[in-house]
Structure 1
């Protein structure tokens, strides 16, 4: 599960945030194109399904469009945007009062693969999915933000409104559980 090129993403995101105050409409369009896939994937960890995650993203962008200066002036705009999406996803959950299982692991190994390699990958992927699904939501969010979004503990703490120590401990407990559960695969 390789992380996307975070430095290129960060550069493009900062440029887009800087554009918010002078050309809001264009900046929001560019920002949506740049962040939608990542933010929907994150929102799915909360909502459990793609339609609700997409609704959360739309709601977050509607809020940002109403007050773009809040994002433009945020000390850390990316965690601010993640937190906005998270809040929208939680609002949707409160309205809908249902949680379904998440399907956030869509990565495939690259290159040519034989049927045995593909089968091992699918089995491993399914096992990781099941184990991730057993984590408490609070730990699951931290793991997704750390590994899929390549955020630091400080950025995760800001996005979730928690202390860095709380984020680090949730991550540690999640990793311990994942390690115990996935250890048989490593033998």
Structure 2
């Protein structure tokens, strides 16, 4: 079901929040916090940096809430802010590539689970996926992360990244082919 058609879809919640309903913001935050964080961490691979960027994005959302228009889907608006924040970060870093997952992040992931064997397997699979993502050209990686974590349609990914729907479709197709080949190897 389309979120905009739901009684508490993102757009309805955004309008309520703009009208002063703090609980509407809490609902938006709860709905988007994990996918947004995963999207950011998928780009930078550093948990502390991802947390910093995450906070910056939400601060920008709060500061810009009056600039949001009901004709723009909230998710696309949110990920556009995140995309721009990442662009600012990479410009400041002179396009330094993301660091691989470090031992502390893997240990923390293991400690958070009940079944160490299963969690170790999940951590290894996740690390393989991120290594494969790191090998993608930046445009393909971003399209995959927006689709995977933002669950955005092709048109919205195109608006965020400044390209057409067919270009997004091609990037995703090539990225999936590369990922499949890398993960099957």
Cα 1:145–1:44, aligned 2, differ >3 Å: closer, same or farther? same
Aligned equivalent of 1:138: 139
1:82, 1:44 → 2: CA distance? 13
Structure 1 regions of 5+ residues with no counterpart?
none
Partner of 1:99: 97
Unaligned runs of 5+ residues in structure 2 are none
Give me the whole-angstrom Cα distance separating, in 2, the residues matched to 1:91 and 1:150: 23
Shift of 1:172: 1.0
Equivalent runs, 1:106-145 vs 2, <5 Å: 123-145=124-146
What is the root-mean-square deviation in Å for CA atoms of aligned residues?
3.5
CA contact under 8 A between 2:43 and 2:98: conserved in structure 1?
A: no
| Corresponding position: 1:13 with 2:14 | no
- The answer to whether the aligner puts 1:38 opposite 2:35 as a matched pair is yes
Aligned residue pair count: 175
More relative contact order, 1 or 2 (CA 8 Å, 6+ apart): 1
Q: 2:65 matched to 1:68?
A: yes
Structure 1 residues 63, 181: closer, same or farther in 2, change over 3 A?
closer
Tell me the TM-score normalised to structure 1 length.
0.73
